[in-house]
Amino acid sequence: MWGCRTPVPSGVSVVAPALPIYHSHVLDCRVTLTDSLTQGLCGHLDIREMEDSSMSSGSVRSLPLLGFTIFLISLHIHRLDSVSFKVIGPDGPIRALVGEDALLPCHLSPRMSAENMEVRWFRSTFSAIVHLYRDGRDQVGQQIAAYRSRTKLLKDGIANGTVSLRIHDITPSDEGTYGCLFQSPTFYEEAVLELEVAGLGSTPHLSVDGYQDGGIHVVCESAGWYPEPQVLWRDLSGQRLAPVMEKISQQADRLFDTHIAAVITDASKQNLSCSVINPRLGQEKTAKLHIADVFLPRTSPYQVALSVTLAGVFFLILLASYCFWKQHRAKDTEQAELKKKIRECLLLLLLLLIIIIN
């Protein structure tokens, strides 16, 4: 009968032909495997035969060789069943625009069929399933709510281990990392992909919002940008104008709106533009505004003459006031001198009168 001195690993079967057994001798064989699941395995088989008087000697000698061949075939099948692979994704981030579709590709290396594997796309955790392919079909009931009815697994190349996930109607919330996992009955591997989202907002809307600080108050507004945009005022020569107010706010859908204002006081700045720039895409949208001369604050010649006249009158009034004050002060001084002399004369008369009486 057939026997093993060392236990045979699981997944490896030894098949013996159903033949009469008589003579006995021992055949030892040692097999070394390189597969990760059976590496270092060695098997020793004791094959005992008993000679059948009705069996030819050539058949008896071929029996050990047949058993050994079957054993090697079994090990080879086990090794093929547990073959390893790598999952390859894009070298860099994938970029998609808000409202459009994103395509996330990955494939197996070496190339092999993934039709009978599980293919799982997930977010931050293994259970946050974006899309799941299992048992030969899509398992849409396993998706998290944010991706239901928004994904499609492209399986045209699945026989060669290539799949791509299409995500419809991209939003800023879709930005981040994605895991692409392939799992066979005996092995699994994954790749990590990065999705970047960008949004080009609306063309800026320019409006005049009255007068402020001696100039015209103009406002630039735009909506629907991602990530946070930059906003610039420029004059006709391209020089930047300093804003008097800038407000960039993020809405509930994570898109950014802009509201920026400037005050125009110089007639040379009556042609100006407002540009909103997406820093991730390096693209911008611009609107231009021309302010008519009639709206710009101006200084007319009559206003200049009136200002000069008023200044002259004011100066003359000041000069006249000074002269009047000085003259009045002089009169006060003369009156004080006269009163002093009168007092002195009265005092002398009084002294003379006293002398005469005495």
Strands of 102-255 (E only): list them: 102-109, 118-122, 129-134, 137-138, 151-154, 162-167, 176-183, 188-198, 205-212, 215-225, 230-235, 240-241, 245-250
Q: How many CB atoms lie within 10 A of CB 114?
A: 24
pLDDT at 128: 97
Q: Which two tokens stand for residue 315?
A: 């100066």
Strands of 226-309 (E only): list them: 230-235, 240-241, 245-250, 256-264, 271-278, 283-290
Q: Which residue has the tokens 């005996």?
A: 186
Question: Taking a C-beta distance cutoff of 8 angstroms, is the pair 102, 198 a contact?
Answer: no
* Residues of the chain where predicted confidence (pLDDT) is lower than 50: 1-61, 75, 78-80, 294
Q: How many CA atoms lie within 13 A of 57 on its CB side?
A: 0
Q: What are phi and psi of 128, to 5 degrees?
A: -85, 80
Q: Which residue has the tokens 């505004």?
A: 289
pLDDT at 84: 92
Q: Do domains 86-198 and 205-295 have the same CATH topology?
A: yes
CATH superfamily label, 86-198: Immunoglobulins (2.60.40.10)
Residue 271: beta bridge partners?
A: 290
CA proximity to 107, closest of 167, 178, 36, 155: 155
Q: What is the pLDDT of residues 208-253, one digit of tens each?
A: 988 887 788 999 999 999 999 999 999 888 889 999 999 999 999 9
- Judging by DSSP bridges, how do beta strands 205-212 and 245-250 pair with one another? unpaired
Residue 246: beta bridge partners?
A: 260
pLDDT at 354: 80
H/E stretch holding 352 reads helix 301-357
Q: Could you tell me which residues come within 8 angstroms of residue 74 by beta carbon, excluding any fewer than 6 positions away?
A: 12, 13, 14, 15
In the chain, where the domains are located? 2-81, 86-198, 205-295, 301-358
pLDDT at 163: 98
Highest CATH level, class, for 205-295: mainly beta
CA–CA separation, 55 vs 212, rounded Å? 117
